[in-house]
Amino acid sequence: MERIRRFFAHLVPALLVLACPVVAAPAPAGAAEPEIVVFAAASTTNAIDDIAALYAQKGLGSVKASFASSSTLAKQIEQGAPADVFLSANTQWADYLDQKGLLEKGSRSDLLRNRIALIVPKDSKIGTIEIRQGFSLLPALGKDGRLSVGDPAHVPVGMYGKEALMKLGAWDEIKDRIAPAKDVRAGLALVEQGEAPLGLVYESDAVASDKVRVVGIFPAGSHTEVVYPVAAVAGQKVGPARKFIEFLKTPEALAVFQKYGFAGV
């Protein structure tokens, strides 16, 4: 009899456990966002690095950035590089990807504006250069100096620069005196290191460097307006990409861009 009582004493609790529904543990609030990869024009390096750090500090997600000429980045995206956001230094390369269906529809917008500047090494004796119709860069270049600039064949800053110099009548005399760089930061470096007496960069690049001086700004109307479009790359992380793009438009992010010499649209 005692053995039977012990049997039921163990059986009843077991049956109660089986009869009760199993309740799953609640999912942790705010599941981690996947890391997104931002392909951004070289001129935005300092600003995007700061904004990505701010984004992470706020617990909004992780951002990995890759910087190069907009043309190089667009070609890499075309070839299947794992980018989630594309920030271009001109509309042409955004149009290029758009036409190939590689940008998420409805995600593209203009984010920033910039200006084209002439720079010299900080200790250069070259003074202000008045950039106007018929001006010449030869006196500043000297006998053997070259104008450091992103390759006008495909780098946006060089494309803007060539357009402006042609319109102002200064291209023909210096077209064989340029030092074409792979992107605007490479062109900036040549002037910083004193390897070129004169460079053509974005105003924001000059702001980001303490090794150069601005000696002239190209006037409005001398070239196509410098606009930076941003868009989500069509793919698997469109949601997180759109979220980061919206953050780029917040007052906090725009303040960082303005710190580095960019203007909002």
SS (H, E, C) the chain: CHHHHHHHHHHHHHHHHHHCCCCCCCCCCCCCCCCEEEEEEHHHHHHHHHHHHHHHHCCCCCEEEEEECHHHHHHHHHCCCCCCEEECCCHHHHHHHHHCCCECCCCCEEEEEECEEEEEECCCCCCCCCCCCCCCCHHHHCCCCCEEEECCCCCHHHHHHHHHHHHCCCCCCCCCCEEEECCHHHHHHHHHCCCCCEEEEEHHHHHHCCCEEEEEECCCCCCCCEEEEEEEECCCCHHHHHHHHHHHCCHHHHHHHHHCCCEEC
12 domain residue, yes or no = no
Same domain, 125 and 210: yes
CATH number at residue 155: 3.40.190.10
pLDDT of res. 236: 82
List residues bridging with 213 in a β-sheet: 120
Give the integer Cα–Cα distance in Å for 74 and 80.
10
Same domain, 64 and 124: no
Range of the domain at 56: 36-113+227-264
Same domain, 146 and 213: yes
Same domain, 212 and 159: yes
Same domain, 139 and 208: yes
Q: What are phi and psi of 204, to 5 degrees?
A: -65, -35
* Residue pLDDT tens, the chain, 265 long: 444 444 444 444 443 333 333 333 343 444 567 899 999 999 999 999 999 999 999 999 999 999 999 999 999 999 999 999 999 999 999 999 999 999 999 999 999 999 999 999 999 999 999 999 999 999 999 999 999 999 999 999 999 999 999 999 999 999 999 999 999 999 999 999 999 999 999 999 999 999 999 999 999 999 999 999 999 999 889 999 999 999 999 999 999 999 999 999 9
pLDDT of res. 6: 47
Counting the structural domains of the chain, the total is 2
247 domain residue, yes or no = yes
14 domain residue, yes or no = no
User: Where is the domain boundary, 198, 217, 236?
Assistant: 217
Give the integer Cα–Cα distance in Å for 264 and 241.
20
165 domain residue, yes or no = yes
Closest CA to 76 of 62, 95, 97: 97
13 domain residue, yes or no = no
Same domain, 148 and 212: yes
Residue 185 identity: R
pLDDT of res. 187: 98
pTM: 0.86
